Amino acid sequence: MTKKHTDKGGAESPMKDFAGKIAVITGGGTGMGRELARQLVAEGCNVAMCDVSEAAMAETKRLCEIEKLPQGLRVTTHVADVSIEDHLKRFRDELAEQQKTDRIHLLFNNAGIGGGGSLFTNTREQWERTFNICWGGVYLGVRTFLPMLVAADEAHIVNTASVNGFWASIGMGQAHTAYSSAKFAVKGFTEALINDLRLHAPHVKCSVVMPGHIGTSIVSNSRKVQSADGSERLNADEVALTRKRMVTAGVPDADKMSDEDIQAAFAERARSFLEDAPTTAAQAAKIILDGVKAERWRILVGEDAERLDERVRATPEQAYDRAFYESFTQEVGWRLG
């Protein structure tokens, strides 16, 4: 990775075409990461993805290859936990060898989990696990791949934050401190990168992505990562915590629900988050890629994200009042409980 950048105009014009480019995607096994991979490959872009689930990535790769890939196009998978710098360095070295390159053009720091929301009811380990993936994965991703981006003639960094990067809540009945703190950090970091890149690598651009409710498996995937057991079912501690959260949120008779009722409620929440979202992962990926082509540094994903952004800006002092949340969820149809 020693070749120097040679300016061919990339600093002056947006990246309009992904064909022949090389993209890195973290969290490529499911959700928006999977759909970004599929849409990039469809445009003739080489993709190197990482995830903690080898099986999930294998399915993403299969979906990318349903239509015969053009000769020479490469889709590679790499197991890595983005919160661990050595994993990302190994990912970088593997992709350099397998993609036969010393540079990349696109970096999508997409990996993320939820959970660990409360300083009171969650453990420090749960809290920091969420923060270290959602924030640390973005920071380490940029640190690790920046030399390969700078080596390209044009490049773009895309960091996934959330509406929780400007509104630190998912409602009155549930704490959300770890995820929101991480997403605020991602937003601020990316905004600060705009001028850092302009000063030192003007051919590299960046965008912060702020999705609203997107139909993904983040609820069930987060639980698997936090527990490290890979199971679809809650353990005894998680059942107790879920029951307490439901009582706090005012769910009728939650304190009288059996453990199996709690399991069923969690499974329904995960299903609903995936299947009842106002924006699909495929729609979100298209909005993101269109935003990169338009060189927008701020990419809101979903009408709910756009409306929430407007509301928070209009009445910031009321943003954490119950009336604000209830009127907004009624307006956009959020059912996140």
Catalytic residues: 179
Residues facing 43 on adjacent strands: none
SS3 206: strand
Neighbours of 232 (CB within 10 A): 12
**Cα(201)–Cα(5) distance, rounded to whole angstroms?**
9
Q: How do strand 155-160 and strand 204-211 relate by DSSP bridges?
A: parallel
Q: What backbone phi and psi angles, to 5 degrees, belong to 206?
A: -145, 155
C-alpha separations of 64 from 37, 57, 61, 216 in Å:
7, 10, 5, 18
**Cα(316)–Cα(187) distance, rounded to whole angstroms?**
17
**Cα(187)–Cα(191) distance, rounded to whole angstroms?**
6
- DSSP 8-state class, residue 76: E
144, 85 contact by CB (below 8 A): yes
